[in-house]
Structure 1
Amino acid sequence: MIHLSNVSKTFQLKGQSLDAVKDVDLHIEKGEIFGVVGYSGAGKSTLVRLLNLLEKPTNGTVKIADYEMLKLSNRELKRARQEISMIFQHFNLLWSRTVRENIAFPLEIAGVSKAERYEKVAELAKLVGLEGREDSYPSQLSGGQKQRVGIARALANEPKVLLCDEATSALDPKTTNAILDLLHDINQRLGLTIVLITHEMNVIQKICSRVAVMEDGSVVEQGNVLEVFRHPQEEITKSFVKQLTDPEDSNQAIEEQLEQEKGTVVRLTFFGDDAEKPVVSELIRACNVTVNILQGNIANTQDGSYGSLFVSIEGDAAQLNEAIEFLQDHQVEAEVISRA
């Protein structure tokens, strides 16, 4: 569906070259929700603008559906862009127009009759949960409602691809979850291919099937979300994963445990169905050890759960070795953080 091959983008700024995107190769399947995550300045927003040629690549090829984007004439590019919609962090609504008029704007530009436009608007307003708010102005809406208008407007021309550039970054956590649920529902209903650009790993975790991690203009790691969670290769990926799996106060709890000089602190990592099993209680019975739970968290991805748990295990050396073997036999990764 979307193929990027050796795509680079270099900007010339005050006589100096800035490599914003470097030799990126990506393949995104039709109907997939694909995430691109990176910190500020990683190049992810530039990358998404290369997909619809809002920025033209310095090198490489971009193919979306049947379009070889760099070979299109201006007229062909305009037609292709009708199939590649985009939503933004700050909504980009027309503040002097109502919800109805904002959603209808792309159809107006396309020359669709007023009756057909408003029929389509009614359908889209219902789809995104804005039924009854069609005559409101953006200033009368919450942040989540504004983004719903942006999503409805992006769907007006029945695109094949939806690009989301930090679409939830301006929203509170509850509203973010609601918008992500809406995007997932739209993906399921319409079979839309969605590319999500974000700096928040919880956004990736919630609805993406695969992810690419960007740093300094390059894609440094990519793959199935659960597998990336399970075996992060790069330090930046590990830091993103820890945002979800290691609570902020876990280090404090571990330090307190070390000060008390009790037990051996072990970090347990669970994957898939194993995250839901009562492994700790089974461990206590099987190995006759005392287990004190310090901190833990479970993150759910589209392909299963990923859990992280810090525990203190009290017992002699033989019991500890038996406990570690027991955990490994039950497909639980066990990393000894500190020994008593």
Structure 2
Amino acid sequence: MISLSNLVKTFNTRDGKVTAVDEINLTIDEGEIFGIIGYSGAGKSTLIRLLNMLETPSSGEVTIAGKTMNKLSSKKLRAARQEIGMIFQHFNLLWSRTVKENISFPLEIKGVPKTERDERVEELIRLVGLEGRGGSYPSQLSGGQKQRVGIARALANNPKVLLCDEATSALDPKTTDSILELLVDINKKLGLTVVLITHEMHVIRKICHRVAVMEQGKIVEQGNVLEVFKHPKQEMTKEFVKQVTEPEETEEAIRHLLEEEDIGHVLQLTFVGREAEKPLITNIIRTFDVTVNILQGKISQTQNGPYGSLFINVDGEASELERVIAYIREQKVQVEVIHP
């Protein structure tokens, strides 16, 4: 569906040439939700703007649905852009227009007859859950409702691709989750290819099938979300994964526990996929002559299955502890002794 080949974007600044996107090669499959994550300045916003030619590549190619975007004439590019919807961090709504009029705007530009426009707008209002708000103005809406208008507007022309530029960064956690659920629903109902950029691993974890990690204009790691969670290779990726699997409060709690003199052996277990559903701790207690105390744990769901970490305190003879660790590894669960 989307193919990026040796893609480069440079900007000339007073301080010299800046390479925002540096030799990126990437393929995104039709119908998948693909996440691009990175810190500010990584180049991810520039990359997503290159997909619909809001930025022109310095070199390389952008191919979407068989069309090389940066080789199209102006007329053909305008037509190709109608197959690409985009939603923004700060909504970019027309404040003097109602919800219906905002959603209708792309159809007006396209020259769609009014009766057909009105039918399409009502259909989209139902799809994004804004029934009864069609006559409201953006100033009368919550942040989540504004983003729903932005999503409906982006879908007006029945695009094949939906680009999301930090679409949930301006929203509170609960509203963020509702918007992410809406994007998953749209992806399933319409078979839409969704590309989103974010600096939050929670967003990637919740809805993406695959992810690419950007740093200094380059993609430093990519893959199936569950595999990236399981085996993060780059330090930056490990930091992002830690946002979800070891939140700050977990780190603090474990640090305090390790300061206790009689804490004994502390193991960190990492579960991926079906292993997260096994009664591992129960089996350890029944099988081995040890006592087990659960210190802290969290299981998260990804689009590809569950992922989680568990910190446990195990008390017993050293030989028995070795048997426990061997057993855990036999169950395809990662284990690390973090104390002593």
Question: How many angstroms does 1:143 deviate by?
Answer: 0.5
Separation (CA, whole Å) in 1 of partners of 2:280 and 2:73: 60
SS in 2 for 1:249: helix
1:80-229 mapped onto 2 (5 Å cutoff): 80-229=80-229
Aligned to 2:268: 267
SS in 1 for 2:171: coil
Deviations 1:33-78 (A, max 9, x none): 1000111111100000000111111111110002111110000100
Separation (CA, whole Å) in 1 of partners of 2:74 and 2:112: 21
Scaled by the length of structure 1, the TM-score of the pair is 0.98
1:27-42 mapped onto 2 (5 Å cutoff): 27-42=27-42
Question: How many angstroms does 1:263 deviate by?
Answer: 1.4
Separation (CA, whole Å) in 1 of partners of 2:254 and 2:138: 48
* Code of the aligned partner of 1:37: I
**Which stretches in structure 1 are left out of the alignment for 5+ residues?**
none
Question: How many angstroms does 1:257 deviate by?
Answer: 2.8
The alignment yields a C-alpha RMSD, in angstroms, of: 1.0
Scaled by the length of structure 2, the TM-score of the pair is 0.98
Query: Is contact 1:247–1:297 with CA below 8 Å preserved after alignment?
Result: no
Deviations 1:124-147 (A, max 9, x none): 101110111110000111101000
1:11-50 mapped onto 2 (5 Å cutoff): 11-14=11-14, 16-50=16-50
* Code of the aligned partner of 2:53: L
Aligned to 1:313: 314
SS in 2 for 1:107: helix
Aligned to 2:278: 277
Query: Is contact 1:148–1:179 with CA below 8 Å preserved after alignment?
Result: yes
* Code of the aligned partner of 1:299: S
Query: Is contact 1:161–1:194 with CA below 8 Å preserved after alignment?
Result: yes
Query: Is contact 1:268–1:310 with CA below 8 Å preserved after alignment?
Result: yes
Q: Give the share of equivalent positions with the same residue, in percent.
A: 65
Deviations 1:291-316 (A, max 9, x none): 12121111100111001011111112
* Code of the aligned partner of 2:271: F
* Code of the aligned partner of 1:168: T
SS in 2 for 1:260: coil
Aligned to 2:326: 325
SS in 2 for 1:45: helix
Query: Is contact 1:161–1:192 with CA below 8 Å preserved after alignment?
Result: yes
SS in 1 for 2:255: helix
* Code of the aligned partner of 2:183: L
Aligned to 1:255: 255
Deviations 1:212-251 (A, max 9, x none): 0011111000000000000000000001101111131233
Query: Is contact 1:247–1:296 with CA below 8 Å preserved after alignment?
Result: no
Query: Is contact 1:210–1:223 with CA below 8 Å preserved after alignment?
Result: yes
Query: Is contact 1:250–1:294 with CA below 8 Å preserved after alignment?
Result: no
* Code of the aligned partner of 1:159: P
Deviations 1:8-46 (A, max 9, x none): 111100150111111111100011110001111111000
* Code of the aligned partner of 2:29: E
Separation (CA, whole Å) in 1 of partners of 2:48 and 2:215: 15
Note closer, same or farther for the CA distance 1:276–1:95 as it changes in structure 2 (3 Å cut): same
Corresponding pairs, count:
339
**Which stretches in structure 2 are left out of the alignment for 5+ residues?**
none
After the TM superposition, which parts of structure 1 deviate over 2 Å for at least 4 consecutive aligned residues?
249-262
Deviations 1:270-289 (A, max 9, x none): 01121122211211221121
* Code of the aligned partner of 2:308: G
